[in-house]
Amino acid sequence: MRDDHPESPQGAAVPRRPGSRRSFLRTGSFTVTAAALGTAGASAALTAPASAVPMTAVESARLAGRPIALTPACDGHETPAAMEGPLFKPESPERTDLVTPGVTGVGLELTGTVYDTTCRPLPGTLIEFWQCDQNGDYDTIGFSLRGHQYTNGRGAFRLRTIVPRDYTGRWGTRAPHIHTQVQTPGGPVLITQLYFPDDTRAYGRDFARLNASDGLINRACTIALTRTTEGSYNGAFDFVVKTTAP
């Protein structure tokens, strides 16, 4: 099922349960917003809970006092918000690995850190991810390619997933993107979408053309990608968010 699709039976908003984690998110007292940045790649598959997330490449470099190449990290600019779209589903499973049985596609290991606007890492931050699959379809029945996790004590997260495909719906053909919500404890929700560089190679699609023709894209929310020898990708994206309501 395509996100934003006018013919979708769920084309309207997905029902939300009162008292859900989502509604808690909506009534919090901090703020979140993000800025796209970061680089460095991640590696290693992850199935461990968010609390046990291993150090990212950026963190390892910092700890060892090594220079962090190509990593702008945090500059204090909030990550831009974006439209949520109609296919968010509350009560997603808590997990860092979205590659469940039946999910195929070009692998993506996404890592990053959530910072406040003074560039302090934010532990315990809730991050929701949802996306379409390699065919451009969203799972509106179950929770395939949907999940939430919390940043670890260093404000870091790690997600194992696949590169989504483009799809055509209410807003025309959408460039491949991952929907995301970020919320510090008790804070407001940042809703945004993460995109892929023009030279991304997946599913025989022309990412440069898809990105150029998507009127909703925000290039500031582009994931930094490095291709692995296996043909999958390591990606990095740091969020910068407010921690108090405006």
Q: How far apart are CA 4 and CA 101, in angstroms?
A: 26
Residue 66 CB neighbours (<10 A): 10
Only one of the segments 3-11, 47-55, 155-163, 214-222 lies at the binding site for Fe ion (rule: CB under 5 A); that segment is: 3-11
Interface with Fe ion (CB under 5 A), residue from 1, 2, 3, 82: 3
214 binds Fe ion, rule: CB under 5 A? no
Only one of the segments 60-68, 85-93, 183-191, 223-231 lies at the binding site for Fe ion (rule: CB under 5 A); that segment is: 85-93
Only one of the segments 40-48, 64-72, 80-88, 180-188 lies at the binding site for Fe ion (rule: CB under 5 A); that segment is: 80-88
CB of 212 to Fe ion, least distance (A): 18
Q: How far apart are CA 205 and CA 227, in angstroms?
A: 16
166 binds Fe ion, rule: CB under 5 A? no
Cβ distance to Fe ion smaller for residue 12 or 64: 12
Q: The tokens of 108 are what?
A: 């993506």
Q: How far apart are CA 222 and CA 72, in angstroms?
A: 13
Nearest to residue 242, comparing CAs of 51, 29, 59?
29
Residue 172 CA, distance from chain mean position: 22
Q: How far apart are CA 229 and CA 223, in angstroms?
A: 19
Cβ distance to Fe ion smaller for residue 43 or 218: 218
Residue of minimal Cβ distance to Fe ion: 3
Give the binding-site size for Fe ion (rule: CB under 5 A).
Answer: 2
Q: Which residues bind Fe ion (CB under 5 A)?
A: 3, 85
